Structure 1
């Protein structure tokens, strides 16, 4: 019987493979597509990291451990993965989003500077703000290079002895207790002592009774300036969360490639995904209408029609919180699910938890808030709202 298998080598799976291999464990990873592919939930150049007010209490120990492991992965891989560009939370001074971010930051003694609308216009001229707007400036926020992070973890895992199989479909068959977990690998049965299931939007298909989570189709969208002189670098256009006067909230990143700046909408929206493998159809104009309206309202220096739009997916839990644990009847399988739109920055810590749970180690943090048993009496996730 082989030791540990990791099914799904995206953000969490690649990190789990690395953390298991770092312990000298015999571990095999399976991915139905290629390394750092664009068919799941972790592509699109960048992911936000540590912006002010976005770390509720259960995630704080994960955030600390993730910081440590991102630094370690940078050192081991020789790649810059975390960029401390600074970040903004913008909105009406007493609006709900700014108020919540300010309250969380104060409670956690996070440093920030609050500036008024005139100062926003001076420092960050691409943002068109109202006179009553303020910005909370977080000097330690930034972004992560998403595909580079996955590739770095996979390369380190392989260097440490992990075995990887890409373009390979691995499917759980049954858990036979002390006899291990039977996995169908492209039609051939293999047996593993433990399995980490980190298949993202494919988890509802792979293990439908594990948790009432639901993937939805969203899109990653980039925008170009209508004036090439518009400053879109990290100094003048850092990562941000922004609430407009009408309550719409969006997020964005500085320009890191010829695609332009990446901007998206915050919250539960999108189209339910029944078959995650079929989510590769091109983006239709009506799918980007809402984000185009947001850009038109808040960023007149940008062309509101996306210069690039690619499909992506978010897998939501009913409470928008991680789902981690072993479902009944699958005691040798560790499910790592439902990043709910905010999981990438914690990926190394989630991979560490996956390794610890798979090996019977004591988790480095209290993860009771993420336990699968909380869904016992939960209703299935409904259709997400649009907007």
Structure 2
């Protein structure tokens, strides 16, 4: 039986937020060139839809900042294009520092904000409590407020990218499983699916937790691992105003944001959970992230959290949400062009920041796929910075899991 062979300028493996954002920028900036996005399930149904979606602009890792700022540009442009609001919640963020070490880190962060022209202010403990009545500020030494920060509905952002990309000519296909990256020696020339082959000038892997498996087909040990992110959403209560700011609690290794009259909060577990990409089913909904809905992990750190959120002991927990983020030992993104392989691009390793940086990532990979220079500095995201690694080994998975456990920032 003869399998169908199609041709495209670019083929993207994965219809999550990175794949959809890349299609949006590629069709916008390079009209008339054919890009095909292949998603085996529904668009944005894995990591994207499970994200807490803090759209953090100002971070200690400066290389992330231009990428996040571009996401805000994209949202404005897409809202205008579609004539719809994404209802981004521009509530700002409060950084609560309760140790001298955290104060120094916060002061450095506020200096970074000034460097990028981002408004900031120092606010009193009582003002912080008034803005977030659930927050106990007794132990806080300094509280910084950055009003320009926001959060969003991550699924909506991903589908906005996809809808605008389709309007601009992208071919986005759901229910199509890519089985293989087709290699001709050291050159990626397309992908194989159960329906046939698609030959392309550039192949982009944007497959989230499964990206290391596709990279391995091109002989690349992709330095990232699927590490579980988890958060809870409380019952509704008057102490959780819908317009309350995001709150980052580095001394509790926790974050929180409003969720329609409830509070969404997440923690960094003492022992984060990583899985081999080989063990994760094609449909993430069939994966058991935590039989006890994270309660053991929460119980191990709840005392630290309760210093700032004493109501955590009493409030009802209505929802538990978990998903995989692609983590690395240094909590930097892992993406770009691998050495020694032609025409393969890897849009991977989101380290829990995928929603925030999606605009910059999409713009960067659209440019790279068009054979143009990357508009951003990806040097700290270099795929080869850890040397030769085995992304499926227990040792590597443990290194990446530990990076999340030790992470303090939002």
Is TM (by shorter chain) over 0.5? yes
CA drift of 1:149 comes to 0.4
Aligned to 1:334: 345
From 169, 172, 184, give the equivalent of 2:192.
184
Where structure 1 has 5 or more consecutive residues not aligned to the other structure, the ranges are none
Aligned to 1:270: 272
Instruction: Say whether the 8 Å CA contact 1:51–1:88 is kept in structure 2.
Output: no
Aligned to 2:4: none
How many corresponding residue pairs?
Answer: 374
Aligned to 1:118: 126
Aligned to 1:220: 231
Of residues 324-333 and 281-290 in structure 1, the stretch that sits farther from structure 2 once superposed is: 281-290
Change in Cα spacing, 1:131 to 1:211, as seen in structure 2 (3 Å) is closer
Over aligned residue pairs, what C-alpha RMSD do you find? Answer: 2.7
Instruction: Say whether the 8 Å CA contact 2:20–2:162 is kept in structure 1.
Output: yes
CA drift of 1:354 comes to 0.8
Aligned to 2:89: 83
From 263, 285, 292, give the equivalent of 1:285.
292
Superposition pairs of residues 118-267 of structure 1, within 5 angstroms: 118-176=126-184, 181-186=189-194, 188-208=196-216, 209-225=220-236, 228-234=237-243, 237-243=244-250, 247-256=251-260, 260-266=262-268
Change in Cα spacing, 1:268 to 1:350, as seen in structure 2 (3 Å) is farther
Change in Cα spacing, 1:314 to 1:142, as seen in structure 2 (3 Å) is same
Aligned to 1:299: 309
CA drift of 1:189 comes to 2.5
Aligned mates of 1:291, 1:351 — CA distance in 2: 35
Aligned mates of 1:343, 1:356 — CA distance in 2: 19
Q: Deviations over 1:60-82 (max 9, x none)?
A: 33233333222212222323253
From 27, 37, 57, give the equivalent of 2:62.
57
Of residues 298-307 and 338-347 in structure 1, the stretch that sits farther from structure 2 once superposed is: 298-307
Aligned mates of 2:383, 2:322 — CA distance in 1: 28
Change in Cα spacing, 1:96 to 1:172, as seen in structure 2 (3 Å) is farther
Query: Normalising by structure 2, what TM-score?
Result: 0.82
* Greater share of residues in helix: 2
CA drift of 1:132 comes to 4.2
From 30, 40, 50, give the equivalent of 1:32.
40
Instruction: Say whether the 8 Å CA contact 1:283–1:310 is kept in structure 2.
Output: no
From 368, 382, 385, give the equivalent of 2:379.
368
Change in Cα spacing, 1:196 to 1:268, as seen in structure 2 (3 Å) is farther
Change in Cα spacing, 1:308 to 1:224, as seen in structure 2 (3 Å) is same
Change in Cα spacing, 1:326 to 1:172, as seen in structure 2 (3 Å) is farther
Instruction: Say whether the 8 Å CA contact 2:187–2:342 is kept in structure 1.
Output: no
